[in-house]
Structure 1
Amino acid sequence: MSPREVFALRDHLGTALTERTISDPRRVISLAKLSRGCCLGDRGDELDGRSVLIATSGQLLAGLALIEIDGVARRMLLCPPDLKAEHLAGIVADAEIDAVVTDEPARFSDCAVDLIVPVGLPQPSAEATKSVRATEWLMLTSGTSGAPKIVGHTLEGLCGAIIGDRPVPGDAIPVWATFYDIRRYGGLQIFLRAVVGGGSMVLSDPGEALADHVARLNARGVTHMSGTPSHWRKLLMSGSVAEFAPRYVRLSGEIADQAVLDGLKQAFPQASIGHAYASTEAGVGFAVNDGLEGFPATLLGEGRGAVDMKVVDGSLRIRSSRAAHAYVGRAAAALTDSDGYVDTGDMVELRGGRYYFVGRRNGIINVGGLKVHPEEIEAVINGHPEVRMSRAKSRRSPITGGIVVAEVVLTPEADPARADAVRRDILAECRARLAAHKVPAMIRFVPALDVTPAGKLARADA
């Protein structure tokens, strides 16, 4: 590929619109100025043809490094903030890492990598960075156990659902934000939507109180916001929701049940509210904007556009130009089947012309020898008007081997004196809609539920 054919991330920055920015709680960077600056101390040419690990203490420097390195490095791997130290050496070997870009060089002093380049805020540069190749983008899966897998993408594939979605000339510049970290697939998609789609980007910060985060979103004029259903439930439980008025609200990363969709519609009556299906391996599959959980069965089939979908043994499978092209590593498994489909492992059921997500294939809990998807139980519980979120799990029983128990967070408006009545209501609804072995044997009300760094409800059987 000749240099003229290479189109890298920096080529989307522009030099005229100084209103476009990327910001975190402490800094605001002009994208126009960034196109004429350097965050690597004019050492970017040392990364030419290298396989680079981007490992920074915060999202802002990671985003700046992505922009500067794309089109220069052979490949770059975006390191998430929660990567366990014991997995680092294996990932460095599997991704053939021979350079690290970081603001924490001491962390990698024993990493057997011969080049460490410091990254900082952009400074004026005498010479603009040139795009010389199509860089391979590597990301890590967000599995909760074992070493994460390395997934290979291209910028073209990552932007497959974005190109052509730029604002119309004369329209207000969209200001994007997300509860996600941009070093995970969901957050990276929003970062790319801002940079490639002609907008600005407001980054989250894990140490920031939710009320302060919302105040900053308002101060920066955020118009487009995304997160997992768990992220949005936390916002709906807070006292800050009334202060926020985005015009575009999107959910992804977990099952969006009807309760959370209805809650968001009530909170943001003027907003476009929808949920998208995407994964690190399968890419962006589709978006649903009709206000209903699940997706129409008419989306399945081949030759319907950029994405082909089918269901095999209850699992959704996707073939797409937006998908990753391979797992990367010394013992990497095949990413797709012989027909090019990614088996997502997300289980669906067809009901009345619409498919509903029921849970992950590897997230099934065992209850007395019977298999149960916890998300199916949670969807029923979350439908109660006084419930904000819930988590179903199994607990060992000396009689049946396992029973279902549920932890439930009530809405801020719920009357604590009605706890017993709410418990009876939930159990009655579960008995009416679920098989007997799926009905919780115990319901415990809790003030909050843990969420993983990827924004998903933390799950661990008792």
Structure 2
Amino acid sequence: MTVATPRPADAGPEPAGVDNRLVVGGAPLTWRTLPSPELPNPAAVLVRSARHALATARQHAVHGIELLLSTAIRVDATMRAELHDAGFTVTVVDDDGAHPGAPARPRAAEPGRLWLLTSGSTGRPKRVGHTLDTLTTVRADQPDRTWLCPYAPGTYAWWQVVTLSLTQPGQHLVVVDPDELDDWPVVAAAHGVDAASGTPTFWRRTLYRDAAALARVPLRQITLGGEPVDQAILDQLREVFPTARISWIYASSEVGASIVVHDGRAGFPVEWLDRQAPGRPTLSVHDDELVVTSPYHGVGLSGPVRTGDRVQVVDGRVLITGRLDFDEINVGGSKVSAGVVRSVLTQHPGVAWARVTGRRAPVLGRMVVADVVLAPAGGSVDAALARTGGPAEHVDAPLPDEAALVRWCGDRLPEHAVPRRIRVLTEIPVKETLKSDV
């Protein structure tokens, strides 16, 4: 069953953003008017829609139940068993209320504890413990904004947007479910969205599918994170939104939001390395790996944390190129960064997206190969700008073929790093986490 306001007498104080506007499934709400599901404690809650996720988040904020929140697709049978053994009652929340599974092994709940599942990009997802306080990294007063939240419920990025709206008056929220993602610019424009956060893949996919519709959204704040952010996507967004503030954020479940860059450039200044300041993360590099010491870390992760992300210092900027396990390709004894090659490919005006990997090859052992999605005719950034009155220098430029892309890379990369095979895909692949499989 569900219970609506007024709240129970034993409830804690409402969060500061309780009267912020919410739009979920096209319906206007506020945090205050969300019905709250009755939940066991501790609970691992699997939700079927954005509205159920927001209601569960408010329930945690008011009552402090120990909570792990996720979509059902991210929690398979093995993970459900693991959660049960760890003392959670796995509970499905839908329009009919909360449906607890078999009771968990009895244990005392940890008040205020929030658990996040990592993305599992290097194996099975792991649980990382946080609180609303450690997930709330924006504390200074903010200008009024209406934010778009496209992320999967329960992910770190989702909690970042949700805690902003919960804790800051004037931070309104328009939430889109996965089946609305293709048309999110139309939804955003209709509800006055002027700030949006998404992965580079999310932004590339939107530009690829309908850049003209994106250009009609009155964005003043654009945020990217969750994947390596290269100069190409920053420049493309700047073309469409010349007056918006464009920021990229490095954040993870383990170390929280650790890097925030607003200058429109990929990477961060090398002067930030090993800089110590109270209340701020300390960034360092060891063996080409980013290491972060963060005040926003998860439980048991204090001190320096090896992130697993590879970095390179280029022209005074520290560039995050990708995961250590996947970024380095050994071509005949020479090391190639897949992220650097990907960045070169996406700088081509005819390329909307690229993935770079290594493939077995005689003599060399490995060779560089790539998949690309080409910018569609009439759907490029330049074409969108032309339809909205902006410059359009390359609207009629022919799309590149494999040979042209190989030459493009050959002019910008050492010989051993040039892709030997380039396959053209027809759609940008995207996971539920809004990331590509790169």
Normalised-by-shorter TM-score class: 0.7 to 0.9
| Alpha-carbon shift at residue 209 of structure 1 (Å) | 5.3
- The residue that corresponds to 1:376 in the other structure is 340
Counterpart among 191, 205, 213 of residue 220 in structure 1: 191
Counterpart among 164, 167, 172 of residue 140 in structure 2: 164
- The residue that corresponds to 1:451 in the other structure is 430
Q: 1:189 to 1:397 in 2, by over 3 A?
A: same
| Alpha-carbon shift at residue 439 of structure 1 (Å) | 1.2
Match runs of 1:161-310 below 5 Å? 161-167=137-143, 173-198=144-169, 199-208=171-180, 210-211=182-183, 213-239=184-210, 240-305=213-278, 306-310=280-284
Separation (CA, whole Å) in 1 of partners of 2:17 and 2:354:
42
Match runs of 1:405-424 below 5 Å? 405-413=369-377, 418-419=398-399, 422-424=401-403
Letter in 1 for 2:353: M
Letter in 2 for 1:202: V
SS at match of 2:180: coil
Deviations 1:21-60 (A, max 9, x none): 22222432223434xxx422xx46xx4xx21112111121
Separation (CA, whole Å) in 2 of partners of 1:9 and 1:88:
33
Letter in 2 for 1:88: M
Q: 1:369 to 1:67 in 2, by over 3 A?
A: farther
| Alpha-carbon shift at residue 358 of structure 1 (Å) | 1.9
Instruction: Tell me how many residue pairs correspond in the alignment.
Output: 406
SS at match of 2:339: helix
- The residue that corresponds to 1:313 in the other structure is 287
Deviations 1:291-326 (A, max 9, x none): 111101122224324211111111111112212123
**Structure 1 portions without partners, runs of 5+:** 1-5, 116-131, 168-172, 327-334
- The residue that corresponds to 2:312 in the other structure is 349
Separation (CA, whole Å) in 2 of partners of 1:107 and 1:429:
55
User: RMSD value over aligned CA atoms?
Assistant: 3.0
Deviations 1:82-134 (A, max 9, x none): 3242333343146421463522899977645489xxxxxxxxxxxxxxxx985
Q: 1:74 to 1:369 in 2, by over 3 A?
A: farther
| Alpha-carbon shift at residue 431 of structure 1 (Å) | 2.4
SS at match of 1:65: helix
TM-score, length of structure 1 as denominator length: 0.80
- Whether the 8 Å CA contact 1:246–1:268 is kept in 2: the answer is yes
- Whether the 8 Å CA contact 1:71–1:133 is kept in 2: the answer is no
Deviations 1:376-407 (A, max 9, x none): 21100011112111111223335544322111
2:20 is the counterpart of 1:23 = no
SS at match of 2:312: strand
Q: 1:30 to 1:181 in 2, by over 3 A?
A: same
Counterpart among 100, 109, 124 of residue 147 in structure 1: 124
Separation (CA, whole Å) in 1 of partners of 2:14 and 2:405:
52
- Whether the 8 Å CA contact 2:80–2:90 is kept in 1: the answer is no
- The residue that corresponds to 2:385 in the other structure is none
Deviations 1:47-82 (A, max 9, x none): 4xx211121111211111111133534521112343
| Alpha-carbon shift at residue 139 of structure 1 (Å) | 0.4
- Whether the 8 Å CA contact 2:87–2:104 is kept in 1: the answer is no
- Whether the 8 Å CA contact 1:177–1:203 is kept in 2: the answer is yes
- The residue that corresponds to 1:51 in the other structure is 42
SS at match of 1:324: coil
TM-score, length of structure 2 as denominator length: 0.84
- The residue that corresponds to 1:393 in the other structure is 357
SS at match of 1:82: helix
- The residue that corresponds to 2:368 in the other structure is 404
- Whether the 8 Å CA contact 1:52–1:101 is kept in 2: the answer is no
Separation (CA, whole Å) in 1 of partners of 2:424 and 2:320:
25
Separation (CA, whole Å) in 2 of partners of 1:195 and 1:28:
16
2:128 is the counterpart of 1:138 = no
**Structure 2 portions without partners, runs of 5+:** 1-9, 381-394
Letter in 2 for 1:241: L
Separation (CA, whole Å) in 1 of partners of 2:30 and 2:304:
40
- Whether the 8 Å CA contact 1:389–1:409 is kept in 2: the answer is yes
2:8 is the counterpart of 1:11 = no
Letter in 2 for 1:262: D
Q: 1:148 to 1:64 in 2, by over 3 A?
A: same
